[in-house]
Amino acid sequence: MSAPPIVFDLDGTLIDSAPDIHAAVARMLKAEGLEPLPLAEARGFIGNGVAVLVERVMAAVGLAPAEHPRLLARFQAEYDAAPSALTRVFDGAEAALTALGAAGHPLGVCSNKPEATSRAILADLGLLRHFCAIVGGDSLPVRKPHPGPLLEAFRLLGAETGLYVGDSEVDAETAEAAVTPLFLFTKGYRKAAIEAIPHHRAFDSHARLPALIAETTGVRT
């Protein structure tokens, strides 16, 4: 039995990037003479891409929508200057990637973060070597929850479909649109209760993921 490809979301699924995103937001706001937002509030803005993140920050602090292009560029510059200084890989995630790769699963990433930034962070954290495909929020004209980026990741891995691992409502919408089973990491950036998010299997530790995938596919790690 051939091992199907597995595509992972990045933020909140493989890595806890909220501290670096929060820090870049704080630097952006400081340049505007404003106080930083709490980390928990900034974390709640993650998931729909950089442009939406900045829109949500601006709404929270009362900045005019017309300033969005300028502030988006400033945020991206601040974030790209240090995208992995405070970011950490979730416990057990790299071991799970190693096990799944050893079992023959082609692995990819599908993120709403820009592709170049995603690659840089994965390289900084020593994870890039696990992946044969990286699709970012700017790789196609559409981004998640449109199914296009996920399907493109599967295509780059040589398949029409596969399995998807994510942590949020956006990932659930994406998986449903792509008719793909979602393995939901429950300690990421989701806002809704676990039972309110459509998923195939849920897990709270990456150490459990290889066994869950093996149960689904019959391919043993």
Among all residues, which ones are annotated catalytic?
9
> In the numeric block, which tokens belong to residue 109?
């990433």
Alpha-carbon 123 to chain mean position = 15
Asked if residue 38 lies in contact with residue 139, where contact means CB atoms within 8 angstroms, the answer is no
DSSP string, the chain: -PPPPEEE--BTTTEE-HHHHHHHHHHHHHHTT-PPPPHHHHHTT-SS-HHHHHHHHHHHHT--GGGHHHHHHHHHHHHHHSTTSS-EEPTTHHHHHHHHHHTT--EEEE-SS-HHHHHHHHHHTT-GGG-SEEE-TTSSS--TTSSHHHHHHHHHTT-S--EEEE-SHHHHHHHHHHT--EEEETTSS--S-GGGS--SEEESSGGGHHHHHHHHH----
> In the numeric block, which tokens belong to residue 40?
């928990």
